Chain A
């Protein structure tokens, strides 16, 4: 049993790709998300906003990785199927992006709701972060990114709500990550589809990411030896109590 738990050499952390941004338009396919109005569903709004944001970012020299660019996202795994939330987190984590934005839409409130993951910040990132709390080490960076984008949206006079929420797959992302939830521009729920409104939001976010590119930093890495010993100890403990 012990030999199977022998630690393998720990790879050096991969540097952040400062010019790479991940956009995750939430929902898609059979998952329509929230019903915004009689004629609008959330999955269409998130995809439309993602296209506008991608155009704004590409024009500023960024490389944009999208988890879906059509209604139904395809799983990269052999066998196909639809893209699960874990698949989306995997796509985002492999990009080593400067920012990961998960796009949502809602009919409640107005303007933009900007959320980070509701996790306690970890002081350093372990070499093998636990999947369900992988975002913990990135919380300080996510908080700074939230502040940067919130400032840009406020300067654009867009109503803003900031906070922290537990929405999957945010907790599993290993990048500065935020949820951008677009709400209607005014009391008419269909105003969420207005081109000028979505462009205004996309312009503000793209401008903030241009500043963010020079600020983003990877969290400090926890030493591999101590992590491995702790992991081994936990594995040993678990093995000892198994019947």
Chain B
């Protein structure tokens, strides 16, 4: 009997130990859930920052002259030249283009001229990067003169300027509101390799103008530079000093095909 009334130290120890474990586990659970919340918050923050960084890089990429990998391919029409019969014919291509208009113009011209560098091209041109840059100027192009009077000069010595319209009222006027002049700066390394001849040079220019006309209608006129400088001809013939109107290039005479008399 007395044996039955003695407390069992081994049985009492597990009870107190169980309670202690329960107390520790509760603290641990709290810490655990706090840590989990921190981890989730950090994960969420990381995802948001990653998304922001991706958007920033995409925006930067769109501002670069030639960029397309992040863009979706779109259908464009290239006006391709043929030396044999002197014609231009349109062909569609799937090309990824950047968003900015000047970058699109440059990418279009680069794709067009790259086609001519392929073996078997009907208008064979040298390979290599042809366009250094494309600049867009809103039409009409205005000049500026500085006012030399003392009242128009500030303390820093800068003079006020007055916009001046072009001398020729028929020149460099937009056909439609928002019309632009594209200045295409070609690389001399490419221009110096261009074949010489009236037909072959004119077809290259018509092909560029026609492709711009089809895909970027806001470009109404084009001027060409070579390494940032005015140059008389492309390869001894086609005039590079004039301003070219951008129009349909598939008609050899701008829609006025002469018919032979008394064939």
A interface residues, Cβ below 8 angstroms from B:
27, 31, 33-35, 42, 104-110, 113, 115-116, 118, 130, 132, 143, 146-148, 150-151, 154-155, 161-168, 171, 179, 181, 183, 234, 237-238, 241-243
Contact = CB atoms under 8 A, between A and B. Distances in A.
Contact of B86 (A27, A109, A168): A109
8 contacts: A34-B237, A106-B198, A143-B258, A147-B259, A151-B263, A165-B198, A166-B205, A243-B145
B200 A106 contact: yes
Main secondary structure of the interface of A (DSSP, over half): mixed
Given A31-B236, A110-B84, A166-B242, 12 more contacts: A34-B197, A105-B197, A106-B200, A109-B85, A109-B86, A147-B260, A150-B261, A161-B252, A162-B253, A234-B167, A241-B162, A243-B148
Interface in B216-249: 232-233, 235-239, 241-242, 244
Interface string B5-39: 00000000000000000000000000000000000
Interface string B80-119: 0001111000000000000000000000000000000000
Contacts of A42: 196
A43 to B, nearest CB: 10
B147 interface: yes
Nearest to A26: B237
Given A107-B197, A181-B199, A234-B167, A167 B252 contact: no
B224 to A, nearest CB: 11
Interface in B157-181: 162, 164, 167-168
A35 B199 CA distance: 14
B262 A109 contact: no
B145 A163 contact: no
Given A34-B236, A243-B148, A162 B197 contact: no
A163 B206 CA distance: 11
B236 A143 contact: no
A167 B261 contact: no
Given A42-B196, A118-B254, A241-B164, A161 B262 contact: no
B85 A154 contact: no
B74 interface: no
Contacts of A166: 202, 205, 238-239, 242, 244
Given A33-B196, A108-B200, A241-B145, A167 B262 contact: no
A151 B263 CA distance: 6
A179 B238 CA distance: 12
A31 B235 CA distance: 12
A154 B260 contact: yes
B254 A164 contact: yes
Q: A35, A106, A110: which has the most chain B beta carbons within 10 Å?
A: A106
Nearest to A132: B242
Contacts of A241: 145, 162, 164
Interface in B117-166: 145-148, 162, 164
B242 A181 contact: no
A241 B144 CA distance: 9
A95 to B, nearest CB: 23
B202 A167 contact: yes
Nearest to A34: B196
Given A31-B236, A151-B262, A155-B263, A164 B252 contact: yes
A166 B240 CA distance: 9
B237 A167 contact: yes
Contact of A108 (B197, B238, B258): B197
Contacts of B197: 34, 104-108, 181
B260 A150 contact: yes
A150 B258 contact: yes
A166 B164 CA distance: 28
Contacts of B148: 243
Contacts of B164: 241
Contacts of B259: 147
Contacts of A150: 258, 260-261
Contact of A113 (B199, B235, B256, B262): B199
Contacts of B252: 161-164
Contacts of B86: 109, 113, 161, 163
Contact of A33 (B147, B236, B242): B236
Pick the most buried of A105, A154, A179, A241: most chain B CB atoms within 10 A of its CB: A241
A191 to B, nearest CB: 15
A161 B242 CA distance: 24
Contacts of A238: 167
A81 B244 CA distance: 32
